Chain A
């Protein structure tokens, strides 16, 4: 069985500050990890994914994430956020199933001026 825990349900930050959204996973097999973003009243879109290789993964809009196998984490970071980054962010894991992603419950990032 696989599971995902997003440690913060809400993260408020000021514009141009750095941010880290935390994600921990559990799985008995090798994992493939994803971060999705959902802007208000929209569907989810992929930010980045880790499949193999380098543990530092770069995505769209200046986001990056680091896969840490020993700590079973896949935290999302951005060095300087913008108002437009206000959205809900979901971490997801595929533990080897061709068809199923398990999502975390989401972290609402609010960027204040």
Chain B
């Protein structure tokens, strides 16, 4: 039982390049989330998927797109990376009720030059 896994762990991009961050969970969770973490800002929700086949914007969705590929996988795409997207990105999942805590992946550290 690996929990929530993310790839890659580290990535350096040039401004304008694109990339996809991958996330997978093996806990049969319904809901999945993408956050970004910046110093002094806590975690901010980018997008979430309440269930397979649905996605919704969070607090800071601009510049990102997501795909809920199946129940296990939820990817985050940066179409044209900008230096402001330099951050640590976390994927999380849970059963999708108010009672259930979210389980987090180890994060992807992204630098955009």
Contacts and interface: CB of A to CB of B under 8 A. Distances in A.
Interface of A: 9, 32, 34, 36, 41-46, 49, 51, 90, 94, 96-101, 103-106
A43 B48 contact: no
B31 A99 contact: yes
B31 to A, nearest CB: 6
B96 interface: yes
A8 B50 CA distance: 32
B50 to A, nearest CB: 5
Q: Do most interface residues of chain A lie in helix, strand or loop, or is the interface mixed? A: loop
A44 B104 contact: yes
A97 B96 CA distance: 9
B106 interface: yes
Contacts of A99: 31, 33, 48, 50, 56, 96
B90 A46 contact: no
Interface of B: 4, 31, 33, 40-45, 48, 50, 56, 58, 90, 92, 96-99, 101-107
A96 B98 contact: yes
A105 B106 contact: no
9 contacts: A32-B98, A43-B107, A46-B101, A90-B42, A94-B98, A98-B96, A98-B98, A99-B33, A106-B42
A38 B80 CA distance: 30
A105 B48 contact: no
Query: What 8 A-B pairs come out closest when comparing CB atoms?
Result: A43-B104, A105-B42, A44-B104, A103-B43, A103-B42, A46-B101, A43-B106, A99-B50
Given A43-B4, A99-B96, A103-B42, 16 more contacts: A32-B99, A42-B106, A42-B107, A43-B90, A43-B104, A44-B92, A44-B104, A46-B101, A49-B101, A51-B99, A98-B50, A98-B98, A101-B45, A103-B44, A105-B41, A105-B42
